[in-house]
């Protein structure tokens, strides 16, 4: 399945308030269908005061700027009519300070006090988050709460089993509305604070117990629900969670793909496949690798590659010719740009989807000005649809190849080699087989055609008798 990560606020605006909404997205489903998308991962759409939606005020509501439940039902219906699945992002590690649960807690309601984690005499109020120096304890009406993701998002206390039922009810509510699955936000953080010793500490065994119970619960309601986990960590940690979820975002692999291209070094991809992808397909674990190169927390692809279109295209060549499920971050298919200086301020990689050459037109969202994606710069759907060699058309071609060869999702990789220029491998499943060469360098090189009969080139190349001259940042797929 080919997935598309979508930010409603930035996508398409149906009521001219400049903010993308669900009706707008429904209007643009045909664009996604034509692109070849089979599943949409919706960034949080519940009521939230934050632009990104990750601090939820009410888990049973739609953000009024995006529409209402009926709009959502219509979106699901229309997506299903086009065979597109809707995956909802559920951030349940924390709530907004404005959430009724938190408000009741700070107003002394015993039941809800137990929903959160409060400081006591052992607490070091100056304790910092381990991956940057953000504080994690915040004062609210004379009490300090634990909030790993900032002062407006108190963490929930999952030592309290009552909360587990509360979360199950939330999953059920959305499943009953017809969603096809969930992207589980911050999955390694459910138990990340050792309350006994009042110290930050990942408790992976407890997380695993929690998620197993939730996954079972969800699957009992809908056995086909697709459950995707976000565990942003090193391979050693990611490994602990293998097999629990249907799909695991492969964060470690995302860096290998980008570095391979950035440093023109095919050895990096070989290492990446061996270390972070191979075990998904060798049959040892049940989960599918969710392959991607960027998401809303990260710098955009084109920015990573200093706006080099050919390097961006190469990243898509790799993404679409490997086992697993590929995920495309909205706007990357038209080469949108966006930098992130601090992971706490992600607006710049979530700019309005650019539909028009001039930067404005029907449905164009304008909730923020575009710092990185100015008009008349070939960063719009309108411009790119007209150019045969655009990234958009390149991505469309690749997805269409991928959909004609669905078996690739579960294929086995063998004959993984590299030379100075290329990386090559064979993908096999039953009687199907392709061989892929990616030329990771800017200069051209030669590869052998061997006994393969047909071929597809993504980039530029010329066939000469029994070899192929493959231009820089180009790939060839040889078919039996
Ligand atoms: C999710 C969402 C994100 C959201 C939240 C909170 C969680 O995608 O948009 O924030 O609801 C950590 C968490 C992730 C989280 C990101 C933003 N993402 O684990 O769940 O922060 C290190 C840490 C990671 C960390 C990452 C961040 O280990 O845990 O992710 O840094 O940069 C190698 C290492 C790896 C290391 C990386 C990067 O790969 O192996 O360990 O990761 O390098 O250095 C949203 C907003 C926030 C707001 C919040 C409430 O974006 O601003 O505060 O909501």
Residue 306 has pLDDT above 90, yes or no: yes
Q: Tell me, what's the pLDDT at 284?
A: 66
Domain ranges in the chain are 3-95+161-406, 100-146, 411-479
Binned at pLDDT 50, 70 and 90, residue 466 comes out as confident
Q: Tell me, what's the pLDDT at 74?
A: 98
Is residue 185 among the annotated active site residues? yes
What is the rounded CA–CA span in Å between residue 198 and residue 343? 25
Rounded distance from Cα 339 to ligand 1 centre (Å): 15
Rounded distance from Cα 206 to ligand 1 centre (Å): 20
Both tokens assigned to 26: 């429904």
As a whole number, mean pLDDT of residues 382-400 equals: 97
Q: Whose CA is nearest to atom 20 of ligand 1?
A: 186
Q: What is the pLDDT of residues 161-218, one digit of tens each?
A: 999 999 999 999 999 999 999 999 999 999 999 999 999 999 999 999 999 999 999 9
As a whole number, mean pLDDT of residues 69-95 equals: 98
What is the rounded CA–CA span in Å between residue 94 and residue 53? 12
Q: Whose CA is nearest to atom 47 of ligand 1?
A: 344
Q: State the closest ligand 1 atom to the C-alpha of 93, by its place in the atom list counted from 1.
A: 11
- Mean pLDDT, the chain, rounded, equals 96
- Which of 185, 246, 351, 409 is labelled catalytic? 185
Long-range contact list for 462-471, CB < 8 A, 24+ apart? 468/437, 469/444, 469/445, 470/422, 470/437, 470/439, 470/444, 470/445, 470/446, 471/439, 471/444
Q: What is the pLDDT of residues 244-278, one digit of tens each?
A: 999 999 999 999 999 999 999 999 999 999 999 98
Q: Are strands 461-464 and 467-470 parallel, antiparallel or unpaired?
A: antiparallel
Rounded distance from Cα 428 to ligand 1 centre (Å): 35
What is the rounded CA–CA span in Å between residue 451 and residue 140? 70
Binned at pLDDT 50, 70 and 90, residue 408 comes out as very high
Residue pointed to by tokens 């299903």: 80
Q: Ligand 1: which of 92, 138, 297 to mutate, judged by most atoms within 8 Å of the beta carbon? A: 297
As a whole number, mean pLDDT of residues 93-101 equals: 98
Residue 412 has pLDDT above 90, yes or no: yes
Say yes or no: CB of residue 297 within 6 Å of ligand 1.
yes
Q: What is the pLDDT of residues 340-359, one digit of tens each?
A: 988 889 999 999 999 999 99
Q: Tell me, what's the pLDDT at 104?
A: 98
Say yes or no: CB of residue 234 within 6 Å of ligand 1.
yes
Q: State the closest ligand 1 atom to the C-alpha of 230, by its place in the atom list counted from 1.
A: 20
Q: What is the 3-state secondary structure (H, E, C) of the chain?
A: CCEEEECHHHHCCCCCCCCCCHHHHHHCHHHHHHHCCCEEEECCCCEECCCCCCCEEECCCCCCCCCCHHHHHHHHHHHHHCCCEEEEEECCCECCCCCHHHHHHHCCCHHHHCCECECCCCCCCCCECCCCCCECEEEECCEEEECCCCCCCCEECCCCHHHHHHHHHHHHHHHHHCCCEEEECCHHHCCCEECCCCEECCCHHHHHHHHHHHHHHHHHHCCCCEEEECCCCCHHHHHHCCCCCCEEECHHHHHHHHHHHHCCCHHHHHHHHHHHHHHHHCCCCCCEEEECCCCCCCCCHHHHCCCCHHHHHHHHHHHHCCCCEEEEECCHHHCCCCCCCECCECHHHCCCCCCCCCCCCCCCCCCCCCCCCCCCCCCCHHHHHHCCCCHHHHHHHHHHHHHHCHHHHHCEEEEEEECCCEEEEEEEECCEEEEEEEECCCCCEEEECCCCCEEEEECCEEEECCEEEECCCEEEEEEC
Q: What is the pLDDT of residues 58-78, one digit of tens each?
A: 999 999 999 999 999 999 999
Residue 454 has pLDDT above 90, yes or no: no
Q: What is the pLDDT of residues 329-345, one digit of tens each?
A: 999 999 999 999 888 89
Q: Tell me, what's the pLDDT at 480?
A: 86
Say yes or no: CB of residue 230 within 6 Å of ligand 1.
yes
Say yes or no: CB of residue 359 within 6 Å of ligand 1.
no
Q: Tell me, what's the pLDDT at 465?
A: 82
Q: Whose CA is nearest to atom 53 of ligand 1?
A: 149
Say yes or no: CB of residue 341 within 6 Å of ligand 1.
no
Rounded distance from Cα 133 to ligand 1 centre (Å): 13
Architecture of domain 411-479 in this structure:
Sandwich (2.60)
Superfamily of domain covering 3-95+161-406: Glycosidases (3.20.20.80)
- Which of 21, 230, 348, 351 is labelled catalytic? 230
Is residue 259 among the annotated active site residues? no
Predicted TM-score (pTM) of the model is 0.97
Q: Tell me, what's the pLDDT at 283?
A: 66
The angle that helices 309-320 and 251-262 make with each other, rounded to 10 degrees, is 140
Residue 382 has pLDDT above 80, yes or no: yes
Q: Tell me, what's the pLDDT at 282?
A: 72
Give me the torsion for CA of 323, 329, 332, 336, rounded to 10°. -160
Q: State the closest ligand 1 atom to the C-alpha of 188, by its place in the atom list counted from 1.
A: 19
* Percent of the chain at pLDDT exceeding 90: 94
Q: Tell me, what's the pLDDT at 449?
A: 86
Rounded distance from Cα 343 to ligand 1 centre (Å): 7
Give me the torsion for CA of 301, 304, 308, 310, rounded to 10°. -50
């Amino acid at each position: 399945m080919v997935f598309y990560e979508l930010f409603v606020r930035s996508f398409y605006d149906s009521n001219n308030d400049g903010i993308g909404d669900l009706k707008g997205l429904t209007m643009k489903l045909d664009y996604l269908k034509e692109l070849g998308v089979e599943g949409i991962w919706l960034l949080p759409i519940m009521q939230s005061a934050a632009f990104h939606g990750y601090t939820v005020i009410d888990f049973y509501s739609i953000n009024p700027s995006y529409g209402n439940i009926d709009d959502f039902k219509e979106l699901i219906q229309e997506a299903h009519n086009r065979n597109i699945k809707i995956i909802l992002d559920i951030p349940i590690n924390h709530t907004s300070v404005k959430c009724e649960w938190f408000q009741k807690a700070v107003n002394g309601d015993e039941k809800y006090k137990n929903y959160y984690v409060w400081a006591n005499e052992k607490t070091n109020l100056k304790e910092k988050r381990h991956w940057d120096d953000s504080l994690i304890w915040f004062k609210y009406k004379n009490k300090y709460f634990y909030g790993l993701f900032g002062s407006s998002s108190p963490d929930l206390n999952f030592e309290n089993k009552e909360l587990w039922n509360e979360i199950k009810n939330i999953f059920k509510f959305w499943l009953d509305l017809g969603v096809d699955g969930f992207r589980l936000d911050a999955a390694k953080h459910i138990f990340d604070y050792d309350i006994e010793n009042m110290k930050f500490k990942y408790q992976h065994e407890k997380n695993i117990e929690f998620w197993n119970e939730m996954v079972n619960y969800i699957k009992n309601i809908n056995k086909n629900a697709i459950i995707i986990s976000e565990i942003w960590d090193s391979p050693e940690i990611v490994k602990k969670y293998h097999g629990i979820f249907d799909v695991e975002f492969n964060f470690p692999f995302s860096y290998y793909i980008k570095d391979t291209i950035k440093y023109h070094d095919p050895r990096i991809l070989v290492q990446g496949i061996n270390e972070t992808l191979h075990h998904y397909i060798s049959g040892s674990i049940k989960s599918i690798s969710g392959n991607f190169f960027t998401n809303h927390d990260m710098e955009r692809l084109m920015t990573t590659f200093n706006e080099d279109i050919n390097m961006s295209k190469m990243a898509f060549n790799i993404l679409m010719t490997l086992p697993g499920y590929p995920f495309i971050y909205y706007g990357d298919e038209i080469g949108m740009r966006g930098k992130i200086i601090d992971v706490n301020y992600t607006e710049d990689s979530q700019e309005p989807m650019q539909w028009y050459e001039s930067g404005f037109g029907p449905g164009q969202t304008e909730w923020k000005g575009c710092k990185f994606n100015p008009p008349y710069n070939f960063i719009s759907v309108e411009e790119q649809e007209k150019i045969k060699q655009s990234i958009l058309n390149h991505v469309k071609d690749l997805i269409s190849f991928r959909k004609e060869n669905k078996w690739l999702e579960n294929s086995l990789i063998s004959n993984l080699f590299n030379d100075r220029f290329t990386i090559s491998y064979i993908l096999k499943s039953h009687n199907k087989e392709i061989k892929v060469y990616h030329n990771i360098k800017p200069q051209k090189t030669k590869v052998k055609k061997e006994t393969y009969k047909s071929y597809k080139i993504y980039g530029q190349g010329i066939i000469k008798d029994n070899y192929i001259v493959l231009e820089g940042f180009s790939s060839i797929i040889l078919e039996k």
